[in-house]
Amino acid sequence: MNRRQYGNTGKSVSEIGFGAWQLGNSQDWETMSETAAIELIHEALERGMNFFDTAPNYGLGTSEELLGKALAGKRSSAVLNTKFGHAADGQTNYSTDQIIRSVEGSLKRLQTDYVDSVLIHNPPFEMLDGKYGHYEVLEKLKVAGKILTYGVSVDTVPEMLEVIKHTNIGVMEVMFNIFYQDTAEAFKLAQENNIALIIKVPLDSGWLSGKYNSQSTFSGVRSRWSPEIIRKRAALLEQIRFITNEETTMTMAALRFILAYPEVTTVIPGVRNSTQLAENIAASDGAMPWEQVKKLQELWEQEIRGLELGW
């Protein structure tokens, strides 16, 4: 597994990370047993994956709890990223007086005395510049040794630019994939400011795994797509089949497209079983040919940018 520098923390992380939204989340996915989840985390570590992304509201705290149990005695082998804003009780609260309580709760569930990074989890735009004191509180937690660095999780270029312009964050989690390339416009600026970039939704909520088509039906969190959006996504999927071959699955190619950007630090696809884990990790074994990267960039500019695809 290739590794990349995690901003200014002095640590390096696996370029393919472990998105832990699905751990303990029985609302949006089929329930995974505690034993299966812990075994999967252990397997990830054994295969060289050391970056784990979670949040208090993932599985209403269960994601963090499972990571804590799995990493007991193995904490030094992992780099942990969690968030603030969406709480373990399902409530959303960005008040600055809740930050320390939230982080302390995460530390307890994760069974650790520090986390490597904490992100403000998709806050309202007006909070991004720091005028309400969020970053001051996070800086105090950093000085206290509870966190190594902090930042935000956002989705758009204006949000990225607002944070980079007004703050000194060390890490940013952003949405980026073949079907949503907008945020690449701010990658270089983030790199120039030594901001680690975590890429979320790298498989476009499963579409870039190649397993869906125009006849697919969805439940849970994925039921948000209308029939029209499903048709649009399915048609686009057929247009990019050229990035696959006998050795390269759609998932591997989709992750390699993201890793073709040197500004990217790590990519966090979700993983529910050993087969998916192995496929994700295999993306680190090769690189996407530059001519394919260019074709996908051109497809975005010419055909996808103006489409309403949701997320």
In a domain, 74, yes or no: yes
> Within a domain: residue 277?
yes
Q: Determine which of 13-27, 215-229, 292-306 has the lowest per-residue pLDDT on average.
A: 215-229
**Identity of the highest mean pLDDT range in 77-91, 212-226, 297-311:** 77-91
**Nearest alpha carbon to residue 248 among 212, 279, 271:** 279
DSSP state of 225: -
How many Cβ atoms from other residues are within 10 Å of residue 191's Cβ?
Answer: 16
How many structural domains are present in the chain? 1
Q: Which of 309, 310, 289, 184 is nearest to 236 (CA)?
A: 309
* H or E, element range at 43: helix 34-46
CATH number at residue 97: 3.20.20.100
Distance CA 44, CA 64 (A): 16
Quick check: 27 pLDDT over 70?
A: no
Residue 170 lies in a domain: yes
Q: What is the pLDDT of residue 26?
A: 55
> For the segment 39-50, what is each residue's pLDDT rounded down to a tens digit?
999 999 999 999
Kindly state whether residue 185 falls inside one of the protein's structural domains. yes
99-110 and 62-70 helices, crossing angle to 10°: 40
What pLDDT does residue 228 have? 87
Calpha distance 94→84 (Å, rounded): 7
For 197-222, what is the mean pLDDT? Answer: 86
State pLDDT tens for residues 87-104: 888 889 999 999 999 999
Q: What pLDDT is attached to residue 30?
A: 60
Whether residue 296 is contained in a domain is answered as: no
Strands (E), 88-144: 115-121
Q: Bigger pLDDT: 221 or 10?
A: 10
Structural contact between residues 86 and 55, judged by C-beta atoms closer than 8 angstroms: yes
CB 110 within 8 A of CB 67: yes
Per-residue confidence band for 288, with pLDDT thresholds at 50, 70 and 90: very high
Q: Categorize the per-residue pLDDT at 23 as very low, low, confident or very high, splitting at 50, 70 and 90.
A: confident
Mean pLDDT (whole number) for 206-234: 83
Mean pLDDT (the chain) is 93
Asked if residue 179 is part of any domain, the answer here is yes
Beta bridge partners of 175: 200
What value does the mean pLDDT take over residues 7-23?
93
**How much of the chain exceeds pLDDT 90, in percent?**
79
Residue 216 lies in a domain: no
Determine the structural domain holding residue 177 and report its residue range: 3-206+253-288
Residue with tokens 């007006």: 126
Structural domain includes residue 274: yes
DSSP H stretches of helix in 120-226: 134-143, 157-166, 187-192
